[in-house]
Structure 1
Amino acid sequence: MSSESPTKKDIYNKYHLKKVINASGRMTILGVSTPRSEVIDTVSCGLNEYFEIKDLVDKTGQYIAQLLNVENAVVVSCASAGIVQAVAGLITKDDRDLLFNLHSSDKYVPREIIVPKGHNINFGAPIGTMVSLGGGIMVEAGYANECKPEHIESLINPDTVAILYVKSHHCVQKSMLSVAQTAAIARKYDIPLIVDAAAEEDLQTYYQQGADLAIYSGAKAIEGPTSGLVIGRHQAVEWLKLQSQGIGRPMKIGKEGILGLTKAIELYVTDPQSETGQQMVAKMTPFIESLNTLKGISAKVVWDGAGRDIARAEIAFDASVIGKTAVEIIELMKQGEIAVYFREYKANEGKVDADVRSVTSTQLDIIYQKIKNITQGAQ
């Protein structure tokens, strides 16, 4: 058998995989992001060495904590696993019976996790499922379009374990209390605050605002391997780490992932290379101008709904002119030799968003030609 490293072409041919242009952003269904070469080299090194894993977990966590100026940190397998283990850690603390029998023990322990109703989302899986896996019982505060401090305060009782705040574009944005307001409530009642900040770009602000545990995806803004990062108060992180002996065992991350994300965080903090929103605008402007020459199509720049410095191209399809709905166009864009994926959240409004962070100018030309062929009847 050949020992040569497979080429990109080999991978696509061997497994009969379709090439993808990712205009949807840092999405799990497409593999999220592409790490820098330094991260890939670190992953390779990690794969080929042995470590005392507990020591690796502790020492890399200490290193990350120093980089970010936080009390404690740990690398986990993904952000959703971080939510599960955060909830479980705050419920079980250092109780070994609960650690080993989280879902079967009949011992009384507080289990309620308060979540603003507008944050009870499906991010690819339900937030409520992550809470339940961690042994918690989710309690919704406020309404789908409104959550004020008093809505959360009215639900706090002896069974309350923590408040979970989800910072995401998936969530309702209007009439929601802020992380800082939520942290003030948590401090007032001496209960922990968990912030799910999976796709967020600032690795310090939520901790600084008062989160006891802040959870990030390692493969999104940080552009590491598939992984997650949890930072926060020392004891809360230590309780979470104990879950490797319980519910966290099937969620364990390998040595290569731990080292790869640690390197990615180091680069993210010391040598950031991400595009600014204005750079994204410059890259997509010729693409938008070309789209606006097509009948039944209008395109413009829109900014991230959750306030991140991300610009996208919003493309509106007039079904009465084109003869196809946005939903139909979305599916047709995925067909053929190259599949193009957009952000599909506005499809019911006849629109899609193109996220250009992982798209080259050449690929934008391919996307334009494919849209033109589909909408102008050339396909």
Structure 2
Amino acid sequence: MTDVYQKYDLKKVINASGKMTILGVSQLAQPVIDAQKFGDEHFFEMSELINKTGHHLAKLLGAEDAIVVNSASSGIAESVAGLIGRGSMYHVYHPYDSRFENREIILPKGQNIDYGTPEEVMINVGGGKVVEAGYANMCRPEHIEMMITDKTVAVMYVKSHHAVQKSMLTVQDALEVAHKYDLPLILDAAAEEDMQKYIRMGVDIIIFSGAKALAGPSSGLVFGKRQYIDWVRLQSLGLGRAMKIGKENIMGLTKAIEEYLQNGPENGESMKQRLVPFLAGLNEVPYVEAKQIQDGAGRDIYRASVVIKPESPKNAKVVTAELKSGNPAIYTREYRSNEGIIEFDIRAVDTNEMQAIVERLHEILDE
């Protein structure tokens, strides 16, 4: 099927940016593809499939309940809608009706991020109203607490490398404040790796992307407290209809999570070992200084960080643009390119692709 690239005049891609939606997120293992294929080839009573795969996954995870949804984004919208409606069928059919006055979702300002769309867009789709707490450079528990009113329906926390990390309250801090006021905590943990950590902590609604760390198909998982998951499930009859997921992806994600819980992702030590020859090659490129760094949000992920030296004839922004313009297109983590830094995530990069990256950098930077 490699001729698909030629058929549609598509460039091949080396994905050194990580689990990114713009590149299709993940490569699926064969057991996951087989599960999808079974879903493709058979019929199901969809409500039963959704309910029973959710119960199965909840049991594996130690949660009260779970539901497979279209994506982490839809998980945010449907969770917010569920908390506003609280099981009301009238709300399901009229999710934006003014009679539902309690719509405030408290979110730390430094976590109102754009991950491809702003967090607040999905909260608004669910009918919620974002109330930002704290400041761009800090949020403490008291900042959350002072924003709580009788219109508050939940506190939300975004656990992401995109979010502000310094001077930020922890998930546990946010949970304690929420529960002090009998409010649920929604946790957007889309790209996190430990699926059971937040269940043990007592988080009420946990949202994972199916296609990121879990290496499943396009999908999401919402899990946590049974009452809240029931309310989320109800949204499939309302605004969730536009976010429905197919049987093949339900089967695929269920298998991906089974595989993930059994085998786990590549660990940090493995990444460190694979980085050694890659870093050596990068440091032979003119104007490049490369070293190993850990993920900014503290996950067990290690990457190559490349500084393009000030005397280079091409700055980091130009280098990343030229990497993407070739065929194969080489995508990197360019969030800090304005500082002269490019990061390479190797989770989906093999030895031959690492060599191709080094060779392309030589082409770009050799005088």
TM-score (norm 2): 0.98
What's the counterpart of residue 32 of structure 2?
39
Query: Which of 139, 144, 148 pairs up with 2:131?
Result: 139
Does 2:346 correspond to 1:356? yes
Distance 2:166 2:152 in 1: 26
For the aligned residue pairs, the C-alpha RMSD in angstroms reads 0.9
Q: Helix, strand or coil for the counterpart of 2:349?
A: coil
Say if 1:73 and 1:231, in contact at 8 Å, map to a contact too: yes
For residues 62-141 of structure 1, the aligned pairs below 5 Å read 62-103=55-96, 105-141=97-133
1:101 partner letter: H
1:111 partner letter: R
Say if 1:32 and 1:219, in contact at 8 Å, map to a contact too: yes
Say if 1:87 and 1:134, in contact at 8 Å, map to a contact too: yes
What's the counterpart of residue 3 of structure 1?
none
Distance 1:92 1:238 in 2: 11
Distance 1:298 1:118 in 2: 31
Distance 1:345 1:362 in 2: 25
Distance 1:203 1:291 in 2: 34
2:190 partner letter: A
2:291 partner letter: K
TM-superposed CA distance for 1:319, in Å, is 4.1
Q: Helix, strand or coil for the counterpart of 1:334?
A: helix
- Note the residue ranges of structure 1 that are not aligned, 5 or more in a row: 1-6
TM-superposed CA distance for 1:293, in Å, is 2.2
1:45 partner letter: F
Say if 2:332 and 2:343, in contact at 8 Å, map to a contact too: yes
Distance 2:250 2:281 in 1: 44
1:70 partner letter: A
For residues 91-240 of structure 1, the aligned pairs below 5 Å read 91-103=84-96, 105-240=97-232
* Residues 121-179 of structure 1: CA deviation (Å, up to 9, x unaligned): 00110001011000000000011111111111111111000001000000011111111
What's the counterpart of residue 271 of structure 2?
280
What's the counterpart of residue 327 of structure 2?
337
Does 2:21 correspond to 1:28? yes
Distance 1:180 1:190 in 2: 15
Say if 1:113 and 1:136, in contact at 8 Å, map to a contact too: yes
What's the counterpart of residue 4 of structure 1?
none
Distance 2:193 2:174 in 1: 20
Say if 2:27 and 2:215, in contact at 8 Å, map to a contact too: yes
Distance 1:347 1:197 in 2: 26
Say if 1:128 and 1:138, in contact at 8 Å, map to a contact too: yes
Distance 2:284 2:215 in 1: 35
Distance 1:280 1:158 in 2: 48
Distance 1:108 1:47 in 2: 39
Which segment drifts farther, 233-242 or 206-215?
A: 206-215
Say if 1:319 and 1:326, in contact at 8 Å, map to a contact too: no
Paired-residue identity, %: 49
TM-score (norm 1): 0.95
For residues 222-371 of structure 1, the aligned pairs below 5 Å read 222-272=214-264, 274-320=265-311, 322-371=312-361
* Residues 191-232 of structure 1: CA deviation (Å, up to 9, x unaligned): 110000000001111122121100000011111111001101
Which segment drifts farther, 105-114 or 30-39?
A: 105-114
2:220 partner letter: G
The count of aligned residue pairs is: 367
TM-superposed CA distance for 1:294, in Å, is 2.5
Q: Helix, strand or coil for the counterpart of 1:99?
A: helix
Which segment drifts farther, 163-172 or 90-99?
A: 90-99
Distance 2:10 2:144 in 1: 48
1:54 partner letter: S
Say if 1:21 and 1:339, in contact at 8 Å, map to a contact too: yes
2:214 partner letter: I
TM-superposed CA distance for 1:368, in Å, is 0.1
Say if 2:17 and 2:333, in contact at 8 Å, map to a contact too: yes
TM-superposed CA distance for 1:345, in Å, is 0.6
Q: Helix, strand or coil for the counterpart of 2:79?
A: helix
Say if 1:292 and 1:299, in contact at 8 Å, map to a contact too: yes
Q: Helix, strand or coil for the counterpart of 2:252?
A: helix
Distance 2:61 2:214 in 1: 13
Say if 2:72 and 2:207, in contact at 8 Å, map to a contact too: yes
- Note the residue ranges of structure 2 that are not aligned, 5 or more in a row: none
Say if 1:193 and 1:210, in contact at 8 Å, map to a contact too: no
